[in-house]
Amino acid sequence: MRLLLISNSTNAGDTYLNHPKEEIKSFLNGVKKVLFIPYAAVTYSFDEYEKKVQNRFDEFGIEVDSIHHHKNPKKAVQEAEAFVVGGGNTFRLLKMIQQFDLIEALRFKVLDGTPYVGWSAGSNVACPTICTTNDMPITEPDNFSAFNLVRFQINPHYLDAHPDGHAGETREQRINEFLEMDPYCYVVGLREGTMIKLESGTIHLIGPKPARVFKKGMEPKEYHPGDDLDFLFE
């Protein structure tokens, strides 16, 4: 199984998909065409989203074929050379994936070796559920179960900040609430500008910042690029 799970598409002040572009290019080396899943888009069209991603993937010599053009989305999944799942609203993304009955078809392909790249919401749906997303539930999927490609949960765009004068919960407090409901699961707080790559049964953290890992009954711990993260398979 080969996964590249990216916290965010764009760093503050940067251009679209600039920070992960070299990793994406290397990860998809040899791929000619990817099946793009744009279903997380809400305030812009799927065509606009496809064009935006294609503009970056032109640098890699890779064609972006959006699934919304296909009359039979499941067949498109079954025939895909690689998957790219974009960010946006995770609830909208999952609802449409479920609507077209794509969960098992895509999961089978990825477990069989088809590369998967996702950022933000696209990383969330690689997890067992979408319960550690940051998004508002603007629409209602059938349930919260996602592709279940990894055993752990990801919280993309993870923030440590607690602004002065803000009385609401921190991101860490929200994750701890999740762990009260699912005490056996690890949650990876994936900070912006970072990503997780899974290849050959090994997990690598990539980027300039550490990841913060949570589990009920354990103190949160910072893991840096190069640290052993294979325990996340447990």
Instruction: Look over the chain and give the mean of its residue pLDDT values, rounded to a whole number.
Output: 96
Tell me: the pLDDT tens digits for 144-200?
A: 999 999 999 999 999 987 777 776 788 999 999 999 999 999 999 999 999 999 998
Q: Is 101 a catalytic residue?
A: no
Cα separation, 74 vs 76, whole angstroms: 5
Q: Enumerate the domain spans of the chain.
A: 3-233
Assign domain 3-233 one CATH number from 3.40.50.2300, 3.30.565.10, 3.40.50.620, 3.40.50.880: 3.40.50.880
Residues 6+ apart with CB under 8 A from 134: 155, 156, 157, 171
User: pLDDT tens across 107-124, in order?
Assistant: 999 999 999 999 999 999
Q: Give the pLDDT mean for 52-73.
A: 98
Helix segments in the chain, DSSP class H: 21-27, 46-57, 73-78, 90-99, 103-111, 121-124, 171-181
Q: How confident is the model at residue 24 (pLDDT cuts 50, 70, 90)?
A: very high
Active site residue 135: yes
Residue closest to 88 by CA, chosen among 33, 50, 54:
50
- Of residues 70, 157, 162, 204, which has the active-site annotation? 157
Annotated catalytic residue within 7, 9, 120, 123:
120
Contact 74, 108 (CB under 8 A): no
pLDDT, residue 100, reads 98
- Which of 7, 9, 66, 135 is catalytic? The answer is 135
